[in-house]
Amino acid sequence: MGVLTALAILAGLIVVHEAGHFFAATWQGIRVSSFSIGFGPVLLERQRRGVQFALRAIPLGGFVAFPDDDDDSPIPKNDPNLLSNRPLAQRALVIAAGVIANLLLAYAVLLGQGVVLGIPAGFSASPGVLVSGVQPGQAAAAAGLQPGDRIVSLDGTPLGGGQSAVAALVERIKAAPDQTLRLDAERNGQTVPLQLTPADLGGIGRIGAQLQPNGTEAFRPARGPLEPFRQANHDFAALTTRTVEGFITLATHFGETAGQVSGPVKIVEMGASLAKQGGSSLFIFTALISINLAVLNALPLPLLDGGQFVLLLLEGLRGKPLPERFQMAFMQSGFVFLVGLSVVLIVKDTSQLPVVQQLLAR
């Protein structure tokens, strides 16, 4: 059920992103030829008001297509309702609408958390430290730690609870590069002994895992109709800032952080783990992935919304469209890059799944 929930959330975020492009176009009277979820061959389709709504075989995103892109379209090239014949400002709105839709959805989800669950009112800690995520190929994965494990002792000493237990464990890991630590982790009601050897990164131990306090977060009813908005403002700003900082760190320290990048398989695994936790976890997961999708699409890379915006900006500076040959090369290079990156990430994520590792070890 957790995996299905995570998949449904990811599919919903893609639909919202593409719906942003679609409604920004149709609201301005711009012709749209298709609205597709996925790429490749069509599995299901429906025609409505001249628009093809399709579910395609490769679930790695989606797209909204325009008659401008179809050389066989019966619509004249000088039709004023074609996207390419609209002013730059209108075309810019269509391109930006996907990112805007994901950001608005993230804010709405955080606001919904305040309305449905209430306002965070503290954390009820239980003994141990929860492992919320494990990065493939890092020390934690090599030691056998899995998302959902609860670390209950370190070198024979029981861990306390709350943020202080997380801080103590993190400090011990940082101070032990290339040293073997003995952990006891609770998994499915059983205690699993593990040996963890933090990697040495500049004299500091790193294990490649996300650790958080074990316990449950308490909520209280909102004090007035405006408090959920204030809480949503705070959480949205914090998540967006962290997401942007993460992308900046990836770009400026690529060699150190590239191994931490996860693909769709790992994201689904993380979402499934959070779905089992329930409570506010799914709200935060949905908002965080939606913000990540928005920031990713805003990057100035071919085939992404940011890349389209760069082409539009260059057109505005030149006073005329870029040569079609250049635009085609730009888009084709982006397609090869993104598909190649997706395949690499899927293979990397899949190879780290426990069932696959067991098969490879035979």
Active-site residue numbers? Answer: 18
Contacts 24+ apart (CB under 8 A), 324-331: 330/302, 331/302, 331/303
Q: How far apart are CA 280 and CA 191, in angstroms?
A: 27
Contacts of 193 (CB under 8 A, 6+ apart): 182, 183, 184
Rounded to whole angstroms, the Cα distance separating 49 from 64 reads 15
Q: How many CB atoms lie within 10 A of CB 258?
A: 9
